[in-house]
Structure 1
Amino acid sequence: MKKRILIKIGSNTLTKETNQISRGKIEDIGRQIAALKDEYEFILVCSGAIAAAKQFVQLEHNGQGINVKQALAAIGQPRLMHIFQENFRELGLFTSQCLFSYADLENENAKLNIKNTINVLLANDVVPIINENDTVATDEIQFGDNDKLAALTAAFLQVDLLLIATNTNGIYTKRSLQMERPETIKEVTSIKTLENEADTTKSLHGTGGMRSKIEAATIAQNSGIETWIVNGLKDNFIIDSFKGNNHFTKIKACSTT
């Protein structure tokens, strides 16, 4: 049986810390999935809809900023999916869009429908690409950058690994940051250790920062799922992480027995 991997890809990874979606990064992700698809099945949770829209439009508004972000997400989501579809299709991969919110995950019938749909997609070698439904929900627009959504999804889909792609080599020790010589915390079981070390700053396009990633890892750990926080800006980051060829933070799962 294939191992099930959920990869959360933040806005900073998809844009490679620029102001536009990086087709090269999406191709890099697709190429790795294509290379590993005989051993693993992949689910993607992707931010980036707002960043995709900002490449093309600048909205005028009289309302609240969050409403503008929702409108940008509505414009950018189909554009983002189109970029994924184009790049993945050239690699022989089929993609699908799955949009839902926390409210859906609190409804047992809705959650079962989501699970059944994704299981059918995976059984037919289609890559599910998940995002929050930003038209009706704003949680991940305001904070989290889909970290919590990824963890909750990983839990109810019973994945084998939650891989969070960010713009650092995992979580660094506080002392190493103070010395301006970042040193990655390689492996922990205690979430408290990470909470004491985590930098609370947020990056250019992301809304989560390391705090939301630790919260996500806590959800996953409590569901018996291991979490890796890796540098998604690097080419080949998925395969290199599996091979142990790069530095990242591994948060071990709690035993469910």
Structure 2
Amino acid sequence: MNKKKRILLKIGSNTLTKETNNISRGKIEDIANQIAKLKDTCEFIIVSSGAIAVAKQFVKLESKQEDVFVKQALASIGQPHLIRIYQEIFREYGLLSSQCLLSYSDFEKQQSKINIVNTINVLVNNNYIPIINENDTVATDEIQFGDNDKLAALTASLLDVDLLIIATNTNGIYTKESIKNKKPKTIEEVMDLGVLQQEVVSSKSTHGTGGMQSKIEAASLAKNANIETWIVNGLEDNFITNAFDNIVPFTKIK
């Protein structure tokens, strides 16, 4: 039996909301549909943001506390709803899913790292798709430092995946010159991250906390672990299968 390609798919809040103020069930259906089509050849692990975005749909918290604590509280409210939406939709496509909450400190302890690998391997080997988010209720890294891009790269490295796909709201990374000319042109393939670094225009996404800078840092971590990274436009339908078929522009960091 051929070994399946192991893919870590990172989905940010902007992709999940399709740049609105609500989680898009249609986008999660699109993701489920693609995974179902690819399940004979690929196994997926998902790192998903979106807990805070879900909570904001139906909760307004009153607080005199700092903004970061309000966001942590929102994450606590939104996370169970986010997982429920994933589980409901994935089930419709015959997919099983599970929740894993991780903190950056987990990647600093050898025993924690072994536990993560063993648990996720059991899930994947039994056809469960782990849906990973940072444990925002006790940690503030995602809230402060970049929309789970780093978490995705660390997880990809730890689990020795074959490919890291980062879904964003552009057709990959554009050249700086083309952005200036208002005719965005995708950098399709690159090996030298230094070259990419010079092209990045600093901007943050609407709901996310990342932007292209955090994606390049994630790709750098993945590259150190010998993992290829694709930065694709997750707002488009069939963005994973289209990237595999090379029929859409996206950035491939070899």
Same fold (TM over 0.5): yes
Query: Does the residue aligned with 1:55 lie in a helix, a strand or coil?
Result: helix
User: Partner letter of residue 54 of structure 1?
Assistant: K
- CA distance in structure 1 between the aligned counterparts of 2:132 and 2:18, rounded to whole angstroms: 20
Where does 1:182-201 land on structure 2 (aligned, <5 Å)?
182-201=184-203
Query: Could you list the runs of 5+ residues in structure 2 that have no partner in the other structure?
Result: none
Query: Does the residue aligned with 1:6 lie in a helix, a strand or coil?
Result: strand
| Aligned positions, number | 252
Offset at residue 199 of structure 1 (A): 1.4
**Map of 2:84 onto structure 1:** 82
1:112 maps to 2:128:
no
- CA distance in structure 2 between the aligned counterparts of 1:203 and 1:151, rounded to whole angstroms: 19
Work out which of the residue numbers 90, 95, 98 in structure 2 matches 1:96: 98
**Map of 2:16 onto structure 1:** 14
Offset at residue 196 of structure 1 (A): 0.1
Q: What RMSD, in angstroms, separates the aligned Cα atoms of the two structures?
A: 0.4
1:166 maps to 2:172:
no
**Map of 1:143 onto structure 2:** 145
For normalisation by structure 2, the TM-score amounts to 0.99
Query: Does the residue aligned with 1:203 lie in a helix, a strand or coil?
Result: coil
**Map of 1:32 onto structure 2:** 34
Offset at residue 200 of structure 1 (A): 0.8
**Map of 1:228 onto structure 2:** 230
- CA distance in structure 1 between the aligned counterparts of 2:44 and 2:201, rounded to whole angstroms: 29
% identical equivalent positions:
68
**Map of 1:131 onto structure 2:** 133
Offset at residue 35 of structure 1 (A): 0.6
User: Partner letter of residue 44 of structure 1?
Assistant: I
- CA distance in structure 1 between the aligned counterparts of 2:107 and 2:58, rounded to whole angstroms: 32
**Map of 2:48 onto structure 1:** 46
User: Partner letter of residue 32 of structure 1?
Assistant: Q
**Map of 2:57 onto structure 1:** 55
- CA distance in structure 2 between the aligned counterparts of 1:54 and 1:228, rounded to whole angstroms: 30
**Map of 1:177 onto structure 2:** 179
User: Partner letter of residue 192 of structure 2?
Assistant: S
Q: Once the two structures are superposed, what CA deviation does each residue of 1:89-126 show, in whole Å capped at 9, x if it has no partner?
A: 01000100000111011111011111100000000100
User: Partner letter of residue 116 of structure 2?
Assistant: I
- CA distance in structure 2 between the aligned counterparts of 1:154 and 1:224, rounded to whole angstroms: 10
Query: Does the residue aligned with 1:162 lie in a helix, a strand or coil?
Result: strand
- CA distance in structure 2 between the aligned counterparts of 1:2 and 1:192, rounded to whole angstroms: 32
- CA distance in structure 1 between the aligned counterparts of 2:24 and 2:136, rounded to whole angstroms: 22
Q: Once the two structures are superposed, what CA deviation does each residue of 1:59-113 show, in whole Å capped at 9, x if it has no partner?
A: 0001100000000000000000000000000100010000011101111101111
User: Partner letter of residue 5 of structure 2?
Assistant: K
- CA distance in structure 2 between the aligned counterparts of 1:199 and 1:86, rounded to whole angstroms: 38
Query: Does the residue aligned with 1:122 lie in a helix, a strand or coil?
Result: helix
**Map of 1:255 onto structure 2:** none
Q: Once the two structures are superposed, what CA deviation does each residue of 1:162-187 show, in whole Å capped at 9, x if it has no partner?
A: 00000000000000000000000000
Offset at residue 136 of structure 1 (A): 1.1
Offset at residue 143 of structure 1 (A): 2.1
